[in-house]
Amino acid sequence: MAWDLRYTSVESGPTGRSGFQFVATTPGTPPDVVRAVTPYMSYRPPPSAPSAPAPEELAALPVAFAYGREGDHAVLARCRYTGRDYSGRYGNFSGHAVVAAPHELEGLRPIELWESPVWDGPPEAAPDLVPGTAFDPDSLVAWLRREDAHDRLAALLDAVTAALAGGHGRVVLVADDAGLVARWIALVSYSLPAALAAHLSFITYTADPESAPQLVVGTVPEAWPRGGFRLGEPVPGDGERPGRFSRVIADCWRTGDLDGIDAVGELLMSGAGEADDVASPGVDLTGRLRAGTSPAGERAATAPVGVVEPPRGFPAGGLPVLASADGATTLLALCRGETSVSAAEESAAAALVRCGGAPSWLWPALAPALPTLGFELAAALAHVAPEIAERCVLLALADPSLRERLPVLRLRDGLPARFRAALAEAPGLDALADVVRLADQVGGRITGDDVTATAAACARRGAGDIAAAVRATPGVWRAALVGGVLSGLERAESGTRRAMLTPDARAALGERDWTRAPRTGGLILSARADRHEATTRLIELEPYGLPEIEELLGALWDAPPSPGECERLVERLGPSMARFAVLRDLPRRVFESAPLDAAETVRLAELIRDRLPELAGPARIVLAHREALRAGTEPEMARVLGRMDAGDPLTDRVCASVAGALTARPARSRAEVLAAATDAVRRELTGHWLDAGPDRDDRVDLAEIEVRLHRARTPVPRLTAWGDGLGRFARRHVESALTDRDPALASAWRALRRRGA
C-alpha cells in the first residue's frame, strides 16, 4: 500500500511538542517509511526571496517536488514555502510525501505526479496515485517544436544517461520557474524506457544544489550562478556534440516519432536481458520495424501506457546498460545501411551485443559492413565467422592497444606474411614481445630466426625494455628472444648497452656463460651484491675481451670496503690486485676511513705488508700509528712519527689520532715529544691541538708546552702566535694556573708575552 505523510511546524503536534514534525500520516505508517521520508522534508527559499514575503510573493516561490528510491520504497515529496509559523517567525513550509512500493508506480513515470490530485487529498488517507495533466508525450512534442529546444534536449539526455550509467553525478537545471524544470524532467523521463526512468531521482527546486543527493537537481540562477543547464537562456553553441542515442531520441521528438523512441528503448532493454525474441526482435533484416510489432502499439494492447517491468536484479547504484545507449541506435543505423557511424558508436553497439548476444538476424544484416567495422564490434562478432576473426587479428596487429581485448579465437592459416612483417617492423623489444605473444595467442605463424634477428636489431639500437620483453614473451619463444638481445648488446655502443642493462634487465637475463658476451656479462657481474664474487668473475672474464674492466671495477667498489672486506679480497685475489688501478687503491681507501686502532684495520695492514709489498706504503703508515702509541719513551714516539711520509694524506690522519691520544698525557710529556720531533711533526701535532678549540684547561697545557719548547729552543710559531692572541681575561687565567703549577713557568710565559708585545 501507499502512505501519505504531512510535515510542517506547529505549536502542538500529535505528540504535544512544538516545531517541525509530521503532523499527519496514513494510519499504520511503518517507522522505516517515516525515516525514508524525513530527509525530503526540507525547504529554503531562494537567496533572492524577500525575508517577509507577501501572499502573492509566497505563491510565486518555486515548488520543491522530489523523487527517489529509498531501499524498498519509492518516495515522492512536495514542499512549499508557507512563510510564518505558529509563533509568527518566517521559515515555515508545508511538506507532503507519498511513499509507495516501486510496483505501485507501474504505468507512471514519477514526474507525472507533478500537479497530481494526490497532493490535494485529505490527510491520513491512503493516497490515490493519479497522474497530473501537466505533461503527456503529445503535448511535449508540440511544446518542444514551439520552443525549438531539441538541441537542448539532446545535450540534457546525454548528461542524464551518463550519470545514470555510472550511478553517480549530478545534472543541474537552472530556472526561476520550477514548472519549467519539471517539464524538462518529464521530457527526459519519456525519452527513457520506464524501467530506467524509475531510477531517475530528481528535485524541481533546492536552494542548495551542491548538497542535493538527487541526480537531476533544479534550482534558481542565484543559487547556481554559473554552469548547469540554464533553461531560460539560449542553448550554448560551443558544447560537446551529444552521443548518437541522445541525438536520435531528440530527432524522434522533433518528428513526433514516439514509436521510434519506444523501438530504441526496446532494443536498449534487450541489452539488459529483456529481449522478447532474440531471433525476431520486432525488426526485419533491414532494421525496419516489422508490421504490427511497434513497441508502443504492443504495450497499448496489453498494458497501461508506460508499463514496463524493470529487469530483475537491476543495479541500484548504476545502470550499466545505459553505457551502451548509443549502441541501440547505432545497430539500427548499421542495419539500415547508414555510413555515418563513429568508432565510439560502434563500440557502444558492441557492448550491447556482448550483453544480449548476437541474434541471428543481426549478422546477415551487418555482413556488408564488415570491411569497415571497427575492432569492438568485430570482436563481439568474432565467433560468428573466420573472416571476422581474421579482421580482429589484423586490426590488433595494426594497433597494439587492441590486443588485450581480443576474444578467444584461433586463426585458420596463421596469416604468416602479416606476422612476419609485423615482427620486422617492431620498433622495440616490447613491441616485438607483444607480436610474439599475439602470435602464440591466436595461432599466428612465426619463426625463431625472425624473432632472434629482430631482437638483436632492437637491442643494438637500445630500443625497448629487456625485462618487460622477456617477461612478456611466451616460454617457447624466450630463448630466441634472449639470444638476439645478447647478440645485439655486444655490438651496441657502450652507453646504449649500459642504459639497456637496468637492474630488472640484469635479473631477467639471469646467470649465463658470459665468455660469449663478455661486455654484457661484465656490466651484469659488476652490479652483483657480492662484490668479492663479482670482482673474481670480472677478472676471469677479462681475457675474453673486457676493455671496460677498470670502469666496471670502479663502479663495483664505488663504496669503500670495510677492513674485513678488503682483507677477504686480498686473501682471495692475492697479487692479482696489483694488476688493476681500482683494486690497488682499495687498501688506502680503507685506511682513510677505518678506525686506525681497530684490530681488523691493523690486521689488514699487516696482511698487505706481508702479501703485497708493492701496495704496502699506506699499510706501513697505519702500522706506524700503532707503534707510536706503544712507544716506551717520548723520543721514541717522535722518531716513529718522523719516519712517516710527510706528503701522504694518511700521515696527517695518523698525526691527528696521535695528537688526540697525547691530550691525555701531561703537558711536560707532550712537550718532550714535540722537542724530539721533526719540524713537520711538531707543526702537525700542535696544529691539531689548536684546531680542536682548546678549553680553559687545554689553554694552560698549551701555555706550558709553549714555555718548554722555547726552553728547548724548538718553538712553534703558530703556538706563539696563539699565546699572543689570547684576550686579557684568558691570559690572567693562564698566568694564575701556571703559577699554581710552577711560578717559573708563569714567569717565563709572561716574558714570552712581553716579547710578543
Q: Classify residue 349: in a domain, yes or no.
A: yes
**H/E element, 99:** strand 90-100
Closest CA to 611 of 570, 583, 581, 563: 570
- Is 359 in the same domain as 484? no
Please compute the mean of the pLDDT values over residues 351-363 and round it to a whole number: 72
Largest CA distance in the chain: 134
**What is the CB-side half-sphere exposure of residue 236 using CA atoms within 13 A?**
12
In this structure, the answer to whether residues 203 and 301 fall within a common structural domain is yes
If pLDDT is split at 50, 70 and 90, which confidence band does 318 have?
low
Mean pLDDT, the chain, rounded, equals 88
The answer to whether position 211 is within a domain reads yes
- Beta-sheet pairing, 73-84 with 64-70: antiparallel
Query: Strand 171-174 vs strand 229-230: parallel, antiparallel, or unpaired?
Result: parallel
**608-627 tens-digit pLDDT:** 999 999 999 999 999 999 99
Q: Do 96 and 5 form a contact (C-beta atoms < 8 A)?
A: yes
Q: Is residue 253 part of a domain?
A: yes
Per-residue pLDDT of 713-736, as tens digits, reads 999 999 999 999 999 999 999 999
Tell me if 100 is assigned to some domain.
Answer: yes
Number of domains in the chain: 4
Q: Which amino acid is at 167?
A: G
Helix, coil or strand: residue 95: strand
Q: For 128-137, 282-291, 550-559, which range has the lowest pLDDT when averaged over its residues?
A: 282-291
Q: Torsions phi, psi of 316, nearest 5? A: -75, -30
Contact 191, 261 (CB under 8 A): yes
The confidence score (pLDDT) of residue 97 equals 97
Mean pLDDT along residues 140-148: 96
- Per residue in 421-453, pLDDT (tens digit) is 999 999 999 999 999 999 999 999 999 999 999
For residues 21-30, give the mean pLDDT.
Answer: 94
Rounded CA-CA distance 381/378 in Å is 5
SS3 content of the chain, % helix, strand, coil (to 5): 60, 10, 35
The helix (run of H) or strand (run of E) holding residue 174 is strand 171-174
Among 85, 120, 155, identify where a domain stops.
120
Q: State the pLDDT confidence band at 360, using cuts at 50, 70 and 90.
A: low
Is the pLDDT at 235 greater than 90, yes or no?
Answer: no
Q: Is residue 157 domain-shared with residue 255, that is, in the same domain?
A: yes
Give the span between the Cα atoms of 369 and 382, in whole angstroms: 14
Query: Does residue 576 sit in the same domain as residue 685?
Result: no
The answer, yes or no, to whether residue 358 has pLDDT greater than 70, is: no
Rounded Cα distance between 95 and 81, Å, is 9
Give the closest residue to 588 by CA, choosing from 650, 658, 641. Answer: 650
Q: What is the DSSP letter of 235?
A: P
Q: Which residues are paired to 634 by β-bridges?
A: none
The pLDDT, as a whole number, for residue 308 is 27
Q: Is the pLDDT of residue 166 over 90?
A: no
Place of cell 698566568: 735
pLDDT of residue 387: 86
Q: Please give the pLDDT value at position 334.
A: 80
Helix (H, G, I), strand (E, B) or coil at 435: helix
* Residue 433 to residue 438: CA distance in whole angstroms: 8
Give the bridge partners for 222, in sequence order: none
Predicted confidence at residue 296, as pLDDT, reads 32
Residue 202 in any domain: the answer is: yes
Are 148 and 110 part of one and the same domain? no
Crossing angle of helices 617-630 and 599-611, in 10° steps, is 130
Same-domain check for residues 113 and 58: yes
Domain end, chosen from 60, 91, 120, is at 120
Mark whether 529 and 456 lie in a shared domain.
Answer: yes
Tell me: do 314 and 167 sit in the same domain. Answer: yes
Q: Is residue 593 part of a domain?
A: no
- Confidence band of 286 (pLDDT split at 50, 70, 90): very low
Question: What is the model's pLDDT at position 222?
Answer: 96
352, 471: one domain: no
CA dihedral of residues 260, 189, 350, 437 (deg, nearest 10): 170
Residue 623 lies in a domain: no
User: Do 724 and 665 fall into the same domain?
Assistant: yes
C-alpha cell at position 133: 495533466
1 secondary structure, DSSP code = -
Domain that holds residue 110: 3-120
Same domain, 106 and 143: no
Per-residue pLDDT reduced to its tens digit, 52-99? 999 999 999 999 999 999 999 999 999 999 999 999 999 999 999 999
SS3 25: strand
More confident site: 285 or 595? 595
The Cβ-side half-sphere exposure at 218, using a 13 Å CA radius, reads 26
8-state DSSP, 323 = G
* Euclidean distance between CA atoms 217 and 223, whole angstroms: 12
What is the distance between the alpha carbons of residues 380 and 351, in angstroms, rounded to a whole number? 8
Pairing of strands 64-70, 3-10: unpaired
**Does the pLDDT at position 260 exceed 90?**
no
Of 336, 356, 372, which marks where a domain is finished? 372
Quickly count: other Cβ atoms within 10 Å of residue 128's Cβ: 12
**DSSP run (H or E) holding 564:** helix 563-573
Nearest to 467 by CA among 432, 503, 516, 427: 503
Number of H helices, E strands in the chain: 37, 9
421 part of a folded domain: no
What pLDDT score was predicted for residue 297?
30
The answer on 239 and 192 residing in a single domain is yes
Residue 549 clears pLDDT 50, i.e. is over it = yes
